[in-house]
Chain A
Amino acid sequence: MAKHLLVPTLALAAALVCSLAVQTQGPMPGAVYDRDVKGEKPGPAPRRDLAGIWEPATAGGGIQGKGALAMESCKRDKATGRYMVQQNPPLTDTGYATVDCLKPEVEPPYTTEGLARLKAHKPVEGYRMVPDAVNNDPILGCDPGGFPRIVLHNFRTSEILQTPTHLVVLYKFQKRYRTIWTDGRELPKDPQQPAWTTADRLPPEPRWWGYSVGRWVDDYTFVARTNGFQDDRTWLDNAGLPQSDTTEVEETYHRVDANHLELSIKITDATLYTRPWVALDKLRLRLQSANLDIQEMECSPSDQKHYYEIFGNNTGLDPDTRK
């Protein structure tokens, strides 16, 4: 090696070794996320198998404050018409995206009622975001985010447990779970009067998370449908898109290979949207080590109260009117 290259080469090697040391110190095996590695060739997809701990293949890829249709990028490929995953959107010099980057190029197909509901929501994220002091987002008081917001807003590490009669999805965010029945039962026919109980004198029970049934449409594709939501306290996402007690959600899980799963979500609600629309298009998930310990992300009302007393309530643009 030429002498003039020796010093810079050693400096580069030292920097990379230091970086690796910091990244590998401390965590136990299985306590760090498995990420895609360039050139790897995963094995074939197992048949009718979704079980495991899943994490968005792109770090942070399931956290979608921008809103359902703006989630991947603020740019769209004009040739294909598809949104492109953009890892480096325009940033300020403090490292944050500009608000211009948050607006979807294509709005969801709102009905008049849907648009009115949207405008009544004051979210803290997305292009319509307001300061904390004037928001009306139910989850910021620790109400359940419900489904599909848990996926469209904040899909983090999640575990799927698979049994002969149902799937259970354990979500890290808000430490919640859902059951998707695969035992052949049908969705409640009237989402206004849902109840799966043999105790027929019990009243109907509208749910934050809805009623879910699913089936395999082929050996690698599982489709679940959900209805029976209780009211509009659940939003579709963090940008305030509306949901109602007539919303129906279709989830499609496609097992791509041994390491990957793709998740898509379609929304149908004739009250709020003029046609069904795809809110999530093939979010790529990566299978994690079976001994990964999923962190808690519980929402504590007492913690939230203290946060708003000290910080959130004081962010209004006018300290007297908080408007």
Chain B
Amino acid sequence: MNNAVMRTLGLAVGLLTVSVPLLAHHGAAQFDVGKKVTVKGAVTEWFWSNPHCFLRFDATGADGQVVHWAVETQSGPNILPQGFSKQTFKVGDEVTVTLEPVKNGRPMGRLLRVVLPDGSALPLATADAGQAPGNSPLN
């Protein structure tokens, strides 16, 4: 790919990024802010509510042990514009979750990005909502 194309794509990505307004709801004292973890697992519960939804999933570690994860998002109304709905996940779905973990080491965190069984990812980059579906101390 030549430099002109790279520059143009970079500009396009930049435009898409700045078109995402900031919106958030809740604090971050319990999170290891800035750290990212990616985990694959099978959905056990998708709980849709206000002020927080959460996704629970089971992941099998390298030692064969199953770890029960829980990741939270903002409220339902906040994440609807990001492409989420009450029907986004069903029990048994294989998902890949990128999350910001809690500080206390438990298998919990806030959801930053999720890849669905069909390969698509949420949140949508162009949504009229927050930068990430997890709670943010920004506001």
A interface residue numbers (CB < 8 A to B): 4-5, 7-9, 11-12, 15-16, 19, 22-23, 32-33, 58-60, 63-66, 87, 89, 91-99, 101-102, 123-126, 129-133, 154, 238, 295-300, 303-304, 306-307, 310-311, 314-319
In the complex, besides A7-B5, A60-B130, A307-B52, 14 extra interface pairs with C-beta distance below 8 angstroms are: A8-B5, A32-B128, A33-B128, A59-B128, A60-B22, A60-B139, A63-B23, A63-B24, A96-B28, A125-B26, A129-B29, A238-B27, A306-B49, A314-B106
Q: List, in ascending order, chain A residues with CB within 8 A of B103's CB.
A: 131, 317
Interface of chain B, main secondary structure: loop
Q: Check A306 against B22 for contact (C-beta < 8 Å).
A: no
Q: Which of A4, A94, A296 contacts B100 (CB 8 A)?
A: A94
Q: How many Å lie between the Cα of A280 and that of B79 in the bound state? A: 27
Query: In residues 79-134 of chain B, which contact A (Cβ within 8 Å)?
Result: 80, 100, 102-104, 106, 108, 112, 124, 126, 128, 130-132
Interface pairs A-B: 9 shortest CB-CB: A59-B21, A8-B8, A15-B12, A60-B23, A315-B30, A131-B30, A303-B49, A92-B34, A124-B27
Binding site for A on B (CB under 8 A): 4-5, 7-9, 11-13, 15-16, 19, 21-30, 33-36, 47, 49-52, 54, 56, 70, 72, 75, 77, 80, 100, 102-104, 106, 108, 112, 124, 126, 128, 130-132, 136-139
Q: How many Å lie between the Cα of A49 and that of B85 in the bound state?
A: 37
Known pairs A11-B5, A97-B138; A316 contacts B104 (CB<8 A): yes
B104 A125 Cβ-Cβ under 8 A: no
Question: How far, in whole Å, are A101 and B12 apart by their CA atoms in the complex?
Answer: 29
Query: In whole angstroms, what is the CA distance A129 to B11 when docked?
Result: 37
Report the nearest B residue to A66, measured CB to CB. Answer: B139
User: Contacts of A131 on B, CB cut-off 8 Å?
Assistant: 29-30, 103
Measured CA separation A295–B79 after assembly (Å): 12
A65 and B132 in contact, given A97-B138, A311-B72, A316-B104 (Cβ under 8 angstroms): no
- Shortest CB–CB separation between residue A34 and chain B, in angstroms? 11
5 contacts between A and B (CB under 8 A): A11-B8, A91-B138, A94-B36, A131-B29, A314-B102
